[in-house]
Structure formats: C-alpha cells, structure tokens
Amino acid sequence: MISACTGTETEKIIIDTDEAPAAIGPYSQGILAGNTLYAAGQLGLDPETGEMAGEDLESQTRKALDNLGVVLEAAGMSFQDVVSVDVFLSDIENFSAFNTIYSEYFTETLPARAVVEAARLPRDALVEIKAVAVR
C-alpha cells in the first residue's frame, strides 16, 4: 500500500507492503520523497510469522535483504537503484560472511556502504540493513 502526505516542498509517499514485516515501532517501512526512497532498517524477520527467519547470520541476512527487496519493489525500485546502504552487525567478526551473501544481491552498481558493529539490535537480531535508493 502506498499513501501520500503532501508537504510544502516535496510530496512524501509512505511505502507500506504486507510482503515485508510490519514496523515494530513508530516508523514507516519506507518514505519516497521525490525520486528518493529512504528504506527503514530491515531485520531477518518473516513477515508472516513475525519471527526471525533463523538463528544464524546467513538466514537472517538473506531474509533482511529479501525484505529490503520487497520494500524497494513496492516503491517501484530494485537493488540496482540503491545508492547507499548502512549495515549493523551484532558481531563484526561476521563481516566476511555477510559480504559473501550481500554480494549476491548487489551485483552490478555497488552502492556506497557503511558497516558497524552494534552492541544490540532490535529483537536480538544478528543484522539490520537500511538503504537509500534513487530512480
């Protein structure tokens, strides 16, 4: 579902899709402002059950990226439109394993990226991924 909020300068469109997990707080899955999408951080949650896709980094990373993908799709975009990604890992030792999976999703135009270790993520997730995309 897409709903629009008009402001004085740029129209802001709320991106909300049942294909990605519902927000677990007071935020939107994404905001489309002009031609730029600001996608909220995605965890490895299964949108149907609300539970983690698995206990391991691989299953959570794949599901977080899949969730990001459906938010992008709901905004009429794809991974190729992503210009910036912020990644939060619960353990920076997982950096290399994360990169292996990440490189399967971002194959052509590689976005700018930051990866940081976070002391604790929502729902005790192992990874959270947020992105900005431009069409």
pTM for this one?
0.92
Which band of pLDDT confidence, cut at 50, 70 and 90, is reported for residue 5? low
Q: Are 46 and 123 in contact (CB under 8 A)?
A: no
Which band of pLDDT confidence, cut at 50, 70 and 90, is reported for residue 10? confident
Percent of the chain scoring above 70 in pLDDT: 93
Neighbours of 9 (CB within 10 A): 8
pLDDT for res 2: 59
For the segment 111-125, the average pLDDT, to the nearest whole number, is 97
Q: Which domains does the chain have, with CATH numbers?
A: 2-134 (3.30.1330.40)
Sequence-distant (6+) residues with CB within 8 A of 46 are 21, 52, 53, 63
Asked if the model's pLDDT at residue 3 lies above 80, the reply is no
The burial of 16, by beta-carbon neighbours within 10 Å (0-12 exposed, 13-18 middle, 19 or more buried), is given as middle
Each residue of 25-78: pLDDT tens digit? Answer: 999 999 999 999 999 999 999 999 999 999 999 999 999 999 999 999 999 999
